[in-house]
Amino acid sequence: MNYPDGYFPVDEYEDRWRKVEDEMRRQGYELAIVWGKTAGHYERAMETLWLTNFWSEHSGQEPDSPIWNARGFCCVILELGKKPELHADVATVRRRMVRCGDYFFSDDPISSVAKALNARKPHRSVVFVGSDNLPMKYARQLAEQTPGIQFEYDDNLIRRCRRIKSPRELDMFREAGQMVSSALYRVCDSLYAGKTAAEAAAEGAYELTRRGGGWLRIPVNFGNDEDSQFFERDPMYGYSMGAPSKGDMVRTWIYGPTHQGYWLDPGRSLVCGGKPTPEQRSLLIDSYAITEAVMNSVKHGARVLDVVGEAERVQARVAEEEDLAAKQWPYFGHGNGSMWEHPIINRDSVTADDIFEEGMVASGESFMTRKGVGSVGWEQNFIVTRTGIELLTTTPVFWF
């Protein structure tokens, strides 16, 4: 489908602005600046994209030059009672798509924001959102250009407001789930048939692109050699020309900003040719049971620690060996939005008060290795409902 006027209507953004303003009032904030980076990549676009639907057309964070500074960064100024004010580095914005009040173009968004703050002469601290995003060089420039202005930091201000998705966002996630599930089917089908990792990724990329979607990576690995433990057969920004042989264990993912900048990341494992040995079948079934434990225990009001406990019990029963991917990603899933969101489903990442709530989008995932058999992994994305989950990623689980 095409969205020449943007996917979400204006009133969706007005609802978001009201939600943020209510949160600012609860926190006692009057003025906030929200930094994002939308050029060249995706993962730090989330706050500013959610607020304004702005995306820079520049190539990325290009090295500074005499004629530009802080390329790719943008800022939204939030002031109680006013529409968000956007400062960015494209000459103009399409008002039917970008949602904001005033727009200010500058090849130096740092100076542009500093000028706007100085004009306001704030009597209280300005809330700085994005200290984990804006590089130190530019943060120092901002401080030097705003003498007398004090900043306090709340990188989670917008994240708190984004965690529960609106009805329109949930519908968008459902569309994204259909898109990525179809694409992942094409990848799995290609690997099942013994095509190269590059051919399989191309099949998935074609399917997702023709549906209007996007992705970051389509990782593939296979076999039972030393390299099979890694997440990708080829870690460079390309795709391996190698192919699995019949009987090889295979695992693959599609992950990234799938639709309208929102993140999905399903993963599957299978045996090339579809005829697993008893040991391979056992590995596939046992490893997926960990992911299944997450999905079976998530519902509105469920404590995240209780979900962790269910997954840990299954993991302790079926996983006896160290898995490299499980070591790199030591959790059982995460929230989903424009990237990962709270909660990270790990015992050390949450408190006893953290719960799943209706309207959240999240994932369950697991990785496992058995010596002499291979390495596998899984991930499912879902919506949290009152009574359980609504599965978004419907690519078949078992390919035998």
Q: Give per-residue pLDDT as tens, 187-224.
A: 999 999 999 999 999 999 999 999 999 999 999 999 98
Token duo for residue 155 = 């990188």
Q: Which amino acid is at 41?
A: H
What are 274-302's pLDDT values in tens digits? Answer: 999 999 999 999 999 999 999 999 999 99
3-state secondary structure of 210: helix
Give me the half-sphere count of Cα atoms (radius 13 Å) on the Cβ side of residue 175. Answer: 19
Cα separation of 259 and 213, whole Å?
Answer: 5
Average pLDDT of span 157-173:
98
pLDDT for residue 290? 99
Residues in the chain: 400
DSSP 354: -
Token duo for residue 158 = 């917008």
DSSP 253-279: E-BEEEETTEEE--EEEEETTS---HH
Average pLDDT, the chain: 96
The model carries a pTM of: 0.95
With a pLDDT cut of 70, the percent of the chain lying above it is 100
Q: Which is more confidently placed, 250 or 320? A: 250
Interior angle at CA 129, CA 124 and CA 131, nearest 5: 110
Domain at 10-162, CATH class: alpha beta
DSSP 11-65: HHHHHHHHHHHHHHHHHT-SEEEEEEE-SS-STT-HHHHHHH-----S-SSPPPB
pLDDT at 238 over 90: no
Cα separation of 98 and 82, whole Å?
Answer: 16
Helix axes 197-210, 167-192, angle to 10 degrees: 150
Average pLDDT of span 377-387:
99
Say if residue 343 is preceded by a cis peptide, omega within 30 of 0: yes
Phi, psi at 64, each rounded to 5°:
-60, 150
Q: Kindly report the number of other CB atoms within 10 A of residue 366's CB atom.
A: 31
Distance of CA 289 to the CA centre of its chain: 24
Can you name the CATH fold of 167-391? Creatine Amidinohydrolase (3.90.230)
What are 106-153's pLDDT values in tens digits? Answer: 999 999 999 999 999 999 999 999 999 999 999 999 999 999 999 999
Query: Can you give the residue ranges of every domain in the chain?
Result: 10-162, 167-391
Cα separation of 78 and 17, whole Å?
Answer: 9
pLDDT for residue 103? 98
What are 321-332's pLDDT values in tens digits? Answer: 999 999 999 999
pLDDT for residue 381? 99
Closest CA to 141 of 214, 35, 54, 44: 35
pLDDT at 1 over 70: no
